[in-house]
Every structure is written in structure tokens, then in C-alpha cells.
């Protein structure tokens, strides 16, 4: 491991070279724009450069990266960021995505750039929600950027977040004004469609005003089988009484590495529900840093992963209880098959005066083969005495008694296992608040478990058709 420490990776060199010319940020070079960037954005780019210069890319020498080794990727040559693509096709021509019975406002990022016609690059929806390109929003809403941009992101946490601040191209900006409660979910589709190896850095900023409500569906999809290295930083602000339901759907090809950092700051009585649903991907790392800064805030983070082949998933969830009377729960469940490997690192931090905190953490895993592996680290760091905190982690197999019960009723072993695995993960999928979405995800889980679902040229959600809900071909009447 100490080898890695002094080695300079090709990717590191090309990233460092990519910002040699500090007078012209990468995104401007790539987009051909000469517009002046918001001062805060420019400063954070410089800051990111400087941090990255010192830290470089994370290797397993760093404690938080011990279980996820992506140094193999660093040895590849990547194109750093793509030129801004022209809008020549409708999104649905490239990508078909809809959930039956689930009406969403769809926005897209293609190869790291906001993808739309020029008139829709930053729009105000009927209910007053502002959605559009981050690169455009920084010019149009400088005040919001003054207050929020780069306030909670941590470029010093590791090299990916540092370089993201420095060289990100574009991303999604959402502002929900006070008291606006949106019925229609916002859906972001992030697509990568390049014929060569590419590294893409995007950055999102989401602000929910007081007493507002938003459902946000964030889909990461690959369109082809080319190698990609995707890094995203998302900053989310929930003002007093706001509620955000965040769904992350991840279905990437086995050659893609995704490093995903989400930072959330929650004010009084705000409510956050997160569902991370990982179906496919080469290496996926999801990091959440959620700070409950005022009383009454609640964060509910759950996740499910179904990995096979040589896939690797890493969920790092840190919840910081900075104020008293906040609640949080983490529930992550996963099934690991073949040579798949998983990592869960939950972290509950309770600050000195955060009395009456309730924080729970649970991670359960099923290993299907002796070549699959899981590292689970449910951490607690507690500085207040009047709290209720617990964590639990289990690793095991399917319940032999239950398996026997099903088999003695004439259900063959493979079907019985399928049923039990399905039952195992439904604890997570049942938390999805939108019926149509839950049903679709449910279908996807079934397909994934049956081995039918692989990445296709369509959005995974589309694979579900309402007329033909996926059913296991198991005679349930026997049970």
C-alpha cells in the first residue's frame, strides 16, 4: 500500500495539467463561453486546485478509502471533461425514460453538460420552482450563490471532491421558493455517451425554501459500455419545515466508476428522506454528509444494493447531530452475489449539546457466494449523554428455516431463495413514498434478482410496463 503513496498516476498528472492554465477555467475552455464566472465559484475552483495539488487522488492508504480501491482506474488515460454538446436531439430520442403513472419534469445532463434548447436552459416552472443549468444560474442568481454555493461541500475531504470543485463543467440548479409544495417530481437524468474513456465532473445545488416540498429523482445511467469515471458533488439546503424526498437510482455499466458526494444542511423541523437504489455499476461510491443544524430536523436514509459479477458498492453515510431533539435513521440492505463486494460505513456524530437525540443505524447483508464480500462499519461518535443511539450490523445467509419451509411446500430451491431475497430488500423499497415509483422499483428488483435486468439503452424505469407487472413464476398458493 505504501507503494501507492508515492506513485504518480497518469490520471493525477492529467488532472493537474488540466488546470495549469488558471486564467481560463476548464469549463469555459470547453464550452467556448467568455461569460464571467461568479466570484465565489472561481475562488472555490482555485481553492480546489490547491487542495488537490497537495492531496492527489484518494488511495486505500487513507482510512476512509481502505475498502474501496480504485487505483486501477487511475492508471487509465481519460479525456478530462467533454466539450459542450450541441442540442440536436430531444432527450427522449437518446433516452427513453418515464415511470408509468409517475409524472415528472425531466431534465438531463449529457456528458457533464446541461442538455436543453437555449430557451430552456434555466426555467421557472408553473409552481414557481426554478430549475436549470448551474453554469447559467450563477450569473442570473448571484445572491443565491453568495449565500449557498460551496457553503457545505467539503473539497478538503478527499481528492475527488477537491478536483470536482476545481474543474466541474455544469450541473443542475433547483430553487424551490418558500411555501411551494410541488406535486410533480423533478427528475434528473445523467447520461454519458462517449466513445472513449472519459472523466466527468458535475455539481448540483438544490435549495428548498421554508415550508416547501420537493420530490427529486436522480438517475445515473450509462448508455453504452465504455469506461467512465463520474464524479458529482451535490449541495442540498433544507430551510425550516422543508421536506425533500430524494431517490437515487443507479444503473451503470460494469466499466463505470461513480463517486458521488452529497452534502445536506437541514434547518429546524425539516425532513429528508433518501432512498439509494443501486442496481448495477462497476464501482459505485455514495457519500452522504448530513448536518442536522437546528432542532426538530429528521433525516431518514435508506439504501438497497443488489450486486453481482465483480461489482463494488460503497455507501458512506455520515449524520451529524449538531442540535438537540433531532432524529435520524440509516437502513441499508444488500445482496451480494458472484465476486461482488460491498462496503457500508455509517457514521452518527452527536455533538456536545445535542441532547434528546435519537439516532439509529442498521446494515444487513446477504452473501450468496463465498467469493462475495462485505465490509461494514457502523460507527457512533457521541458527546451528549441524554441520547438514544443504537447500531446493528449483520452478515449472513438466507434463513435456513425459512428456506426449508418454502422447499417442503414444493417450491424449488432457486425460487425459494428468490422469494427470500426479495422479502429481504422490500424493507427498503417499501419506504418509497410514491406508489408508481415503488411499483416500478419493485419490478426492477424482481427482474434484477431473476437476472433479467442489465443495462440497456433505455432508462431502467422504463423496463417496467404497467400492464405486465413482473411476477415470480412461483405458485404462491402452495405456501
Partner 1 sequence: MSKFINFAVLFIFILNRNQMKEEKENENILDEVTTSEYKYGFYTDIETETAPKGLNEDTIRFISKKKNEPEWLLEFRLKAFRYWQTIEEPNWALLNHPPIDYQDIIYYAAPKQKKQAESLDEVDPELLETFNKLGISLEEQKMLTGVAVDAVVDSVSVKTTFQDTLAKHGIIFCSFSEAVQDHPELVREYLGTVVPHTDNYFAALNSAVFSDGSFCYIPKGVRCPIELSTYFRINAANTGQFERTLLVADEGAYVSYLEGCTAPQRDENQLHAAIVEIITHDDAEVKYSTVQNWYPGDKDGKGGIYNFVTKRGLCKGNNSKISWTQVETGSAITWKYPSCTLLGDNSIGEFYSVAVTNNYQQADTGTKMIHIGKNTRSTIISKGISAGKSNNSYRGLVRVSKKAENARNFSQCDSLLLGDKCGAHTFPYIKNSNSTSVVEHEATTSKISEDQLFYCQQRGIDTEKSIGLIVNGYAKEVLNKLPMEFAVEAQKLLAITLEGSVG
Asked if 245 and 217 count as a contact pair (C-beta separation under 8 A), the reply is: no
The size of the interface with partner 1 (CB under 8 A), counted in residues, is 37
Whole-angstrom distance, CA of residue 263 vs CA of residue 372: 30
Q: Which of 123, 383, 423, 479 binds partner 1 (CB under 8 A)?
A: 383
List, in sequence order, every beta strand (DSSP E) within 134-184. Answer: 172-176
Give the residue with the Cβ less far from partner 1, 136 or 389.
389
The interface region with partner 1, picked from 6-14, 19-27, 182-190, 386-394 by CB under 8 A, is 386-394
The interface region with partner 1, picked from 214-222, 234-242, 250-258, 348-356 by CB under 8 A, is 348-356
Asked if 465 and 440 count as a contact pair (C-beta separation under 8 A), the reply is: no
Give the residue with the Cβ less far from partner 1, 121 or 368.
368
Whole-angstrom distance, CA of residue 261 vs CA of residue 33: 27
DSSP-based three-state secondary structure for 172: strand
Inter-CA distances, 396 with 95, 116, 284, 331, 365, Å? 39, 47, 23, 16, 6
166 closest CA partner among 31, 15, 9, 62 = 15
DSSP code of 323? S
Helix axis angle, 39-55 relative to 159-167, nearest 10°? Answer: 140
358 binds partner 1 per the rule CB under 8 A: no
Q: Which of positions 67-86 make contact with partner 1 (CB under 8 A)? A: 67
397 binds partner 1 per the rule CB under 8 A: yes
193 binds partner 1 per the rule CB under 8 A: no
Q: How far is the CB of 390 from partner 1 (least distance, A)?
A: 5
Q: How far is the CB of 332 from partner 1 (least distance, A)?
A: 13
391 binds partner 1 per the rule CB under 8 A: yes
Instruction: Calculate the CA 37 to chain-centre distance.
Output: 27
Query: Which DSSP helix (H) or strand (E) runs through 229?
Result: strand 228-238
91 binds partner 1 per the rule CB under 8 A: no
Q: Which of 94, 152, 377, 407 binds partner 1 (CB under 8 A)?
A: 377
403 binds partner 1 per the rule CB under 8 A: no
Q: Grid coordinates standing for 305?
A: 444494493
325 binds partner 1 per the rule CB under 8 A: no
90 binds partner 1 per the rule CB under 8 A: no
Q: Which of 125, 380, 403, 456 binds partner 1 (CB under 8 A)?
A: 380
Q: Which of 3, 20, 32, 63 binds partner 1 (CB under 8 A)?
A: 63
Q: How far is the CB of 70 from partner 1 (least distance, A)?
A: 18
Query: Which DSSP helix (H) or strand (E) runs through 394?
Result: strand 388-396
Q: Which of 374, 428, 449, 459 binds partner 1 (CB under 8 A)?
A: 374
Q: How are beta strands 185-192 and 104-110 bridged, if at all?
A: parallel
372 binds partner 1 per the rule CB under 8 A: yes
353 binds partner 1 per the rule CB under 8 A: yes
The two counts, helices (H) then strands (E), for the chain are 12, 21
Whole-angstrom distance, CA of residue 57 vs CA of residue 50: 13
Q: Which of 300, 338, 375, 427 binds partner 1 (CB under 8 A)?
A: 375
Whole-angstrom distance, CA of residue 86 vs CA of residue 381: 49
- The residue behind cell 451535490 is 234
Give the residue with the Cβ less far from partner 1, 399 or 435.
399
DSSP-based three-state secondary structure for 99: strand
Query: Which DSSP helix (H) or strand (E) runs through 307?
Result: strand 298-307
The interface region with partner 1, picked from 193-201, 206-214, 320-328, 380-388 by CB under 8 A, is 380-388
Q: How far is the CB of 368 from partner 1 (least distance, A)?
A: 6
Q: How far is the CB of 179 from partner 1 (least distance, A)?
A: 38
Q: How far is the CB of 363 from partner 1 (least distance, A)?
A: 9
Give the residue with the Cβ less far from partner 1, 57 or 336.
336
152 binds partner 1 per the rule CB under 8 A: no
Q: How far is the CB of 372 from partner 1 (least distance, A)?
A: 7
394 binds partner 1 per the rule CB under 8 A: yes
Task: Count Cβ atoms below 10 Å from residue 71 Cβ, excluding itself.
Answer: 18
Binding site for partner 1 (CB under 8 A): 63, 67, 352-353, 355, 365, 367-397
Amino acid at each position: 500500500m505504501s507503494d501507492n503513496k508515492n506513485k504518480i498516476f497518469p490520471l493525477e498528472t492529467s488532472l493537474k495539467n488540466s488546470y495549469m492554465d488558471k486564467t481560463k477555467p476548464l469549463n469555459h475552455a470547453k464550452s467556448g463561453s467568455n461569460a464571467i464566472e461568479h466570484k465565489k465559484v472561481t475562488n472555490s475552483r482555485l481553492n480546489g486546485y490547491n487542495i488537490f495539488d497537495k492531496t492527489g487522488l484518494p488511495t486505500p492508504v487513507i482510512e476512509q478509502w481502505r475498502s474501496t480501491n480504485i487505483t486501477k482506474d487511475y492508471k487509465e488515460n481519460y479525456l478530462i471533461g467533454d466539450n459542450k454538446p450541441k442540442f440536436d436531439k430531444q432527450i427522449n430520442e437518446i433516452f427513453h425514460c418515464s415511470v408509468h403513472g409517475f409524472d415528472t419534469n425531466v431534465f438531463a445532463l449529457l456528458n457533464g453538460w446541461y442538455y436543453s434548447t437555449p430557451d430552456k436552459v434555466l426555467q421557472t416552472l408553473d409552481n414557481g420552482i426554478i430549475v436549470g443549468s448551474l453554469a447559467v444560474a450563477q450569473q442570473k442568481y448571484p445572491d443565491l450563490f453568495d449565500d449557498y454555493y460551496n457553503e457545505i461541500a467539503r473539497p478538503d475531504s478527499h481528492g475527488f471532491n477537491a478536483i470536482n470543485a476545481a474543474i466541474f463543467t455544469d450541473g443542475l440548479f433547483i430553487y424551490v421558493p418558500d411555501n411551494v409544495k410541488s406535486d410533480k417530481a423533478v427528475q434528473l437524468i445523467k447520461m454519458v455517451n462517449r466513445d472513449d474513456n472519459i472523466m466527468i465532473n458535475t455539481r448540483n445545488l438544490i435549495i428548498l425554501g421554508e415550508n416547501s416540498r420537493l420530490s427529486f429523482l436522480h438517475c445515473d445511467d450509462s448508455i453504452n459500455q465504455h469506461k467512465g469515471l463520474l464524479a458529482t458533488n451535490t449541495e442540498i439546503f433544507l430551510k425550516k419545515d422543508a421536506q425533500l424526498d430524494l431517490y437515487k437510482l443507479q444503473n451503470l455499466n460494469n466499466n463505470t466508476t461513480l463517486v458521488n458526494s452529497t452534502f445536506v444542511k437541514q434547518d429546524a423541523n425539516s425532513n429528508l428522506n433518501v432512498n439509494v437504489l443501486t442496481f448495477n455499476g462497476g464501482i459505485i461510491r455514495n457519500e452522504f454528509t448530513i448536518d442536522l443544524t437546528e432542532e426538530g430536523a429528521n433525516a431518514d436514509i435508506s439504501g438497497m444494493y443488489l450486486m453481482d459479477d465483480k461489482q463494488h458498492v460503497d455507501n458512506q453515510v455520515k449524520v451529524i447531530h449538531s442540535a438537540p431533539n433531532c432524529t435520524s435513521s440509516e437502513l441499508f440492505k444488500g445482496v451480494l452475489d458472484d465476486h461482488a463486494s460491498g462496503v457500508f460505513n455509517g457514521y452518527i456524530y452527536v455533538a456536545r449539546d445535542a441532547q434528546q437525540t435519537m439516532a439509529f443505524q442498521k446494515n444487513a447483508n446477504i452473501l450468496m457466494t463465498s467469493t462475495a464480500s462485505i465490509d461494514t462499519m457502523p460507527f457512533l461518535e457521541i458527546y451528549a449523554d441524554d441520547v438514544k443511539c443504537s447500531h446493528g450490523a449483520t452478515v449472513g445467509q438466507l434463513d435456513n428455516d425459512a428456506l426449508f419451509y418454502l422447499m417442503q411446500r414444493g417450491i424449488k430451491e432457486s425460487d425459494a431463495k428468490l422469494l427470500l431475497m426479495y422479502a429481504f430488500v422490500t424493507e427498503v423499497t417499501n419506504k418509497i413514498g410514491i406508489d408508481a415509483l415503488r411499483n416500478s422499483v419493485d419490478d426492477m428488483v424482481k427482474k434484477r434478482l431473476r437476472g433479467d435486468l442489465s443495462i440497456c439503452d433505455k432508462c431502467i424505469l422504463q423496463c417496467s410496463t404497467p400492464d405486465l407487472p413482473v411476477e415470480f413464476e412461483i405458485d404462491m398458493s402452495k405456501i
